[in-house]
């Protein structure tokens, strides 16, 4: 799948077996619609076999339909919080779609992420509830977990449309070892052209947020998220000062290590063109040689699509270790022990 995204022209002469692997892997990685856009951009669609073209076209239709739904939902969110005196800053997939970025073309996702100032988050939550969104987490422990330690309130789901919103006041948990200052992100947010009231993070901050989400979290959609980073870097590279400011901004936001992993893996898997001076500037942020070798091995396995053709005998171990690492980065040891003990030994009571 990575080769298909990196070299879409290759698919015009791929074998049936190769096409079978691409379609299956792409579907598991939620990347088929993005591949359709990549092939279209290179005028390759008309040269494809009929059978795989059906799958690509279907994925494109679904993604385009979701894009329309996202625009509708974002409009509803904007209306709901209009009186909250809080900017509506879109994150990740919704931001890519609404800003018209390449990373938004064919990007599929399950919820809409927004960032608001922490002092206004209760007002935003109340306004959304008045417009039909309700909490999805009712267990008292989970409510406390989100509201005391996390970077977001519990997800909200609309009672009619079933759309889900994640309302953030930061991009990493307050208990996390890395502590990007939300005030810096809010201050640098940029308005979306021709979309009054809507904002995105600044270009460098979009990349850093995606990197922090991927390399400090879980890997369910790891390859898709790394593809996001590849496309963001390619698009923003045309902006004056982007590359010069990326590494300093990572230092300022305490996200240098996630950026190091993001640049290294994007260059390796997607041949992302990264200036040599940027790689040189981020190099001091790499871990020790043994640590780097271990992380490289784990990440290579974790970023592969969740398909038997990509996963080897050590893939479950790699994912398990990275899952444990993510929790270690999110919480101090005493809080992590308490949280895991509650989930493992004291599960919440089931209703009824």
pLDDT at 345 over 70: no
Q: How, if at all, do strands 156-158 and 164-168 pair?
A: antiparallel
Tokens of 274: 């990264």
pLDDT digits 0-9 by tens, 282-301? 999 999 999 999 999 999 89
Q: Which of 334, 330, 328, 298 is nearest to 316 (CA)?
A: 298
Residues 120, 165, 178, 208: is their CA dihedral positive or negative? negative
Q: Which of 87, 28, 35 is nearest to 63 (CA)?
A: 35
- pLDDT of 37 reads 97
pLDDT digits 0-9 by tens, 180-239? 999 999 999 999 998 999 999 999 999 999 999 888 877 888 999 999 999 999 999 999
Architecture of domain 2-345: 2-Layer Sandwich (3.30)
pLDDT digits 0-9 by tens, 190-206? 999 989 999 999 999 99
| For the chain, domain boundaries | 2-345
Q: Which of 136, 88, 137, 140 is nearest to 114 (CA)?
A: 88
pLDDT digits 0-9 by tens, 118-160? 999 999 999 999 999 998 877 777 777 788 878 999 999 999 9
What is the spatial distance between Cα 174 and Cα 176, in angstroms, rounded to a whole number? 6
Burial class (CB in 10 A: 0-12, 13-18, 19+), 158: middle
- pLDDT of 343 reads 62
């Amino acid at each position: 799948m990575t080769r298909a995204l990196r070299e879409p022209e290759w698919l015009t002469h791929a074998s049936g077996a190769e096409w079978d692997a691409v379609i299956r892997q792409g579907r598991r990685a939620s990347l088929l619609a993005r591949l359709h856009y990549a092939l279209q951009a290179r005028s390759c669609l008309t040269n494809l076999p009929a059978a795989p073209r059906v799958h690509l076209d279907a994925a494109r239709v679904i993604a385009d339909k979701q894009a329309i739904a996202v625009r509708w939902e974002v409009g509803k969110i904007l209306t709901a919080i209009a009186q909250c005196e809080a900017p509506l800053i879109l994150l990740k997939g919704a931001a890519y779609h609404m800003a018209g970025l390449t990373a938004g073309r064919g990007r599929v996702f399950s919820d809409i992420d927004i960032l608001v100032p922490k002092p206004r988050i209760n007002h935003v939550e109340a306004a959304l509830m008045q417009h039909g969104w309700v909490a999805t987490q009712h267990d008292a422990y989970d409510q406390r977990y989100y509201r005391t330690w996390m970077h977001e309130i519990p997800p909200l789901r609309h009672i009619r449309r079933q759309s889900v919103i994640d309302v953030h006041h930061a991009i990493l948990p307050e208990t996390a070892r890395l502590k990007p200052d939300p005030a810096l992100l809010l201050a640098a947010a940029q308005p979306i052209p021709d979309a009054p009231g809507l904002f995105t993070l600044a270009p460098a901050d979009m990349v850093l947020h995606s990197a922090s989400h991927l390399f400090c979290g879980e890997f369910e959609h790891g390859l898709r998220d790394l593809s996001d980073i590849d496309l963001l870097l390619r698009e923003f590279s045309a902006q004056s000062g982007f590359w010069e400011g990326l590494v300093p901004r990572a230092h300022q936001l305490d996200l240098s290590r996630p950026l190091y992993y993001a640049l290294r893996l994007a260059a390796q898997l997607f041949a992302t063109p990264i200036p040599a001076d940027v790689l040189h500037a981020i190099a001091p942020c790499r871990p020790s040689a043994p640590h780097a070798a271990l992380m490289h091995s784990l990440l290579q396995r974790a970023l592969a699509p969740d398909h038997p053709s990509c996963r080897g005998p050590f893939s479950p171990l790699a994912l398990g270790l990275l899952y444990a690492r993510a929790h270690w980065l999110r919480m101090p040891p005493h809080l992590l022990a308490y949280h895991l003990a509650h989930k493992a030994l004291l599960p919440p009571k089931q209703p009824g």
